[in-house]
Amino acid sequence: MLRCARLPQPGETVHGEDFRTAPGGKGANQAVAAARLGGRVEFIGCVGDDAFGTEARTALEREGVGTTHLRTRADVPTGVAMILVEQSGQNSIALAAGANACLDLAQVDDAAAAIAGASLLVCQLESPLDAVRHAIGIARRHGVLVLLNPAPAQTLPPALLAEVDILVPNESEAALLVGADAPREPTALALALKAQGPDTVIVTLGEDGICLADPDGVRLRAAPAAKAVDTTGAGDTFIGAFAVALQEGQGTDSAAAFAQRAAALSVARHGAMASMPTRDECESAR
């Protein structure tokens, strides 16, 4: 991660400062967000046999995330992301999948008992799509609720969306999934996605909050006020917190409000995992 006054335009060089490395990735961030808030989490993924891989495993274990299904691959480097953060708190990110791309169906099968025994499966698309689909298939066969964060943005087979209970995209991911004639209005966007199968769709709208569509209808929920210094990981914090609240039996509105409080706390601090709040911080922010 490198901090700069503003993000560079294509072909431009800007000066930055405060370079640092930290473990991350959507799946690991979401797992840590959930574990730090008291969720029981098992992580399924791959790292390389390198310093970044060791750091990632250590970070997950320090937070109490189960790593039985985190595999170390000797033949590929750990996935990395180059993150630039500008003064306003906005970021821009380039990814190299590395070991993330090695998560295969056999590894998912090895984790089948963990998936079947869970109350919720959370997936994101830094893992290969066929592995994600396979995990979702196992979850559905065992009546496990499926939450998909369709990030990084990509188009998806319509059949996959029909197998998802809860879809949580940001605005650009939602627009890509809806397609060329996607409405700009968040409520229309959320309803268009809900029509493709998920019971619940939450489109996250950055500082504008969320748009939630479920069987009770569609509504906008403003974000709690926050002095944003770094929005990296806000979406992951939202998802981890939302998953924990669901796991505890909270309804969708209450779980979303909890997740919004957690995400608002995270944007007021630097970093991704480093900025994620504890349960006490979240409860005091009520």
- Positions touching ligand ATP (CB under 6 A) are 170, 204-207, 209-210, 223-224, 226, 228, 231-236, 238, 260, 263-264, 267
Task: State both tokens at 56.
Answer: 């990632």
Residue placing its CB nearer to ligand ATP in the complex, 102 or 148: 148
Q: Catalytic positions, please?
A: 236
Cβ proximity to ligand ATP, 204 vs 252, nearer residue: 204
Q: How many CB atoms lie within 10 A of CB 58?
A: 12
CA–CA distances in Å: residue 143 to residues 27, 118, 126, 128: 22, 10, 24, 23
- CB nearer to ligand ATP: give 44 or 223: 223
Identity of the residue, 127 or 232, whose beta carbon is nearer to ligand ATP in the bound complex: 232
> Does the annotation list 209 as a binding residue?
yes
- At residue 238's C-alpha, the angle toward residues 257 and 144, to 5°, is 95
Residue 165 is classified by DSSP as S
**Which residue is nearest to ligand ATP, using beta carbons?**
235
Please tell me whether 28 is known to bind a ligand. Answer: yes
On whether 143 is known to bind a ligand per the annotation, the reply is no
Q: Is 206 flagged in the annotation as binding?
A: yes
| Amino acid symbol at 11 | G
Distance, CA of 240 to CA of 25 (rounded, Å):
13
State the minimum distance, in angstroms, from the CB of residue 221 to ligand ATP. Answer: 8
- List the structure tokens of 160: 């996959």
CB 223 within 8 A of CB 260: yes
Contact between 201 and 167 (Cβ < 8 Å): yes
Q: Least CB distance from residue 73 to ligand ATP, whole Å?
A: 26
Nearest distance, CB of residue 272 and ligand ATP, angstroms: 7
CB 11, min distance to ligand ATP, A = 24
On whether 271 is known to bind a ligand per the annotation, the reply is: yes
User: Which amino acid belongs to residue 181?
Assistant: D
The annotation status of 171 as a binding-site residue, yes or no, is: no
Task: Closer to ligand ATP by CB, 45 or 235: give it.
Answer: 235
Structure tokens at 9: 């335009």
Q: How big is the CA angle at 226 (ends 221 and 231), to the nearest 5 degrees?
A: 90
User: Counting every residue, how long is the chain?
Assistant: 286
Minimum distance of ligand ATP from residue 43's CB (angstroms): 18
Instruction: List residues forming the annotated binding site for substrate.
Output: 25-29, 126, 236
Instruction: List residues forming the annotated binding site for ATP.
Output: 170, 204-209, 235-236
Instruction: List residues forming the annotated binding site for K(+).
Output: 230, 232, 266, 269, 271, 275
